[in-house]
Amino acid sequence: MWLRDSTAQMKPYLFLAKEDEEIRKIIAGLVKRQFRYICIDPYANAFNEEANGKGHQTDRTQMNPWIWERKYEIDSLCYPIQLAYLLYRETGSTDQFNDDFHRGVELILDLWTVEQDHAQSPYLFERDTWRKEDTLTHAGKGSPIAPTGMTWSGFRPSDDACQYGYLIPSNMFAVVVLSYLEDLYNNLFHNEPVATRAKQLKEAIQSGIADHALVQNSKGETIYAYEVDGLGQFSIMDDANIPSLLAAPYLGFCAKDDPIYLATRRTILSQENPYYYQGNAAAGIGSSHTPENYIWHIALALQGLTALDQDSKKEMLDLLVATDAGTHLMHEGFDVNDPYQYTREWFSWANMMFCELLLDYLGFSITP
């Protein structure tokens, strides 16, 4: 089970959880399972149902029988916090806040603090593979970085390695969920020390984004970089997987009409983004995880969810339906010239993003 995907697959059900006790219990149960896994290892991104030793056990990192894969991704820790908080906010449920939740929060705060100075981190990851995106360079430590106030990530939400260690969309997501923790520990749990830790970490990451993530695009506009290293290097791009730069308002980091976001949006929905593809059937954002000229249904749904007007949302809904290759399901990536060429016959995360966009178009949205 991926911590990220399992959250995304359940998010639309928050609407039903307001009225349906059984669905509320299912979501609370998922949160409990997620934080149980985080307590086993907060660096892992995917876990086995039981301690059966399945998965990538030959990777050179601290594996154990519970872990399917140990690619450290910031968002793997953001998503369970998001789901726990939104379930509480939307339904009043507190069942999910058990001992594992509180211990997991402490582990997350500890990890994100350590990874503000990755040189002090115990984390290493190497895999014997022909695919460079599946392993970290520099003996498993990743490319060189300098402290910025942000927190380091080894891998992107695509499960591909970061080029530079500070992944801006994931740091944006961390800022949002740290504000959730600050709220919970101030107003529900009345635990000032944890609330203060969350607040201080949030402010440090925010400052790091403001000081290091703003760059110029080819037109001289100020935009957000996708990744930076704190040493002056950065990448202008976006990936279909969420968190992404396109997702910043969807995650709650900024408003949809924020000027820097809008300039960033124009940039990543253009040829300046190396993963933006245009064809006869569609145009949109793809990923290093899929072939060239393949774009993702997730990114098209997100483009609709972050649009400023209903016509743009409807345009994306129509495009999603038109590119399902007759399966009535969303896929991972598909060829911009031939939607019948695709990866994954069905993809639960993408299906749920379609549901979210449709609900949003009809006036039902879970605000971050």
Domains of the chain, residue spans: 73-273, 275-368
CA distance 214 to 210: 7
The predicted pLDDT at position 179 comes to 99
CA distance 182 to 114: 19
Structure tokens at 304: 């609709």
Q: What is the pLDDT of residues 62-110, one digit of tens each?
A: 999 999 999 999 999 999 999 999 999 999 999 999 999 999 999 999 9
Residue 214 pairs in a beta bridge with 224
Low-confidence ranges of the chain (pLDDT < 50): none
Q: Is 248 exposed, middle or buried (0-12, 13-18, 19+ CB in 10 A)?
A: buried
CB 276 within 8 A of CB 265: no
Return the biggest CA–CA distance within the chain: 56
Query: Residue 118 in 3-state DSSP?
Result: helix
φ and ψ of 270, to 5 deg: -145, 175
The predicted pLDDT at position 346 comes to 80
The single residue listed with the structure tokens 């994306």 is: 316
What is the 8-class DSSP label of residue 45?
S
Residue 328 pairs in a beta bridge with none
The single residue listed with the structure tokens 């690619």 is: 71
The predicted pLDDT at position 106 comes to 99
Q: Is 284 exposed, middle or buried (0-12, 13-18, 19+ CB in 10 A)?
A: buried
The predicted pLDDT at position 367 comes to 83
The predicted pLDDT at position 366 comes to 86
Structure tokens at 207: 């400052």
φ and ψ of 277, to 5 deg: -125, 145
Would you state the CATH architecture of domain 73-273?
Alpha/alpha barrel (1.50)
Which stretch of DSSP H or E encloses residue 277?
strand 276-278
The predicted pLDDT at position 101 comes to 99
